[in-house]
Amino acid sequence: MENAIESTEGLIEELLENPEQQIVDGSQAARDLILKCKQLNHKFAKRAAEYDQEATWPVEHYEELRKAGLLGLMIPQKFGGLGADFLTYTKCLEQLSQNSAATGLTFNMHNITTGILAEAATEDIGGRRGRAINEFKQWALGEVVNNGKMFASANSEPGVGAHFSALKTKYRKVEGGYLINGYKMFVSMLGYADYYTVAARREDVEGDLPQISFFIVQLDTPGIEVEKVWDTMGMRATVSNNMLLKDVFVPEERLFLGSEGLGLSKLAREPHWVIGGYVGVYLGLCQGTFDYMVKHLQKKKIPGTDRSVIEREWVQHCVGKLAVDLAATRALVYQAAKLVDEQRGTLETNTAIHCSKHAVSELAPRLASEAMRLCGGSGISKRLPLERFYRDARCGGLMPATSDECLLYAGKAALGFDLMSIRETYW
Instruction: Report the distance separating Cα 211 and Cα 184, nearest Å.
Output: 18
For residues 188 and 423, the model is more confident at 188
**pLDDT, tens digit, 9 for 90 and up, residues 74-88:** 999 999 999 999 999
pLDDT over threshold 80, residue 303: yes
Helix (H, G, I), strand (E, B) or coil at 124: coil
Q: For residues 100-122, give the mean pLDDT.
A: 94
Q: Compute the chain's Rg from CA coordinates.
A: 22
**What would the mean pLDDT of 306-315 be, rounded to a whole number?**
97
Residues with Cβ < 8 Å from 38, sequence gap 6 or more?
95
Does 406 score more than 60 pLDDT? yes
Domains of the chain are: 2-148 (1.10.540.10), 154-262 (2.40.110.10), 271-424 (1.20.140.10)
For 190-218, the pLDDT digits (tens) are 999 999 999 999 999 877 789 999 999 99
pTM of the model: 0.94
Q: What is the pLDDT of residue 20?
A: 52
Measure the CA dihedral 392/394/395/401, to 10°: 140
H helical segments located in 100-244? 101-119, 127-147
Mean pLDDT is lowest, of 9-23, 41-55, 253-267, 279-293, for 9-23
State the Cα torsion 151-155-158-162 to the nearest 10°: -130
Q: How confident is the model at residue 10 (pLDDT cuts 50, 70, 90)?
A: low
Predicted local distance difference test score (pLDDT) of residue 7? 52
Terminal-residue alpha carbon distance, the chain: 18
C-beta atoms surrounding 211 within 10 Å: 22
Q: Can you list the positions of beta strands (E) in 151-262?
A: 151-154, 170-174, 177-187, 195-202, 212-217, 224-227, 241-251
Rounded mean pLDDT, 398-423: 96
Backbone angles phi and psi of 98, in degrees to 5: -70, -30
What interhelical angle do 313-343 and 272-299 show, nearest 10?
160
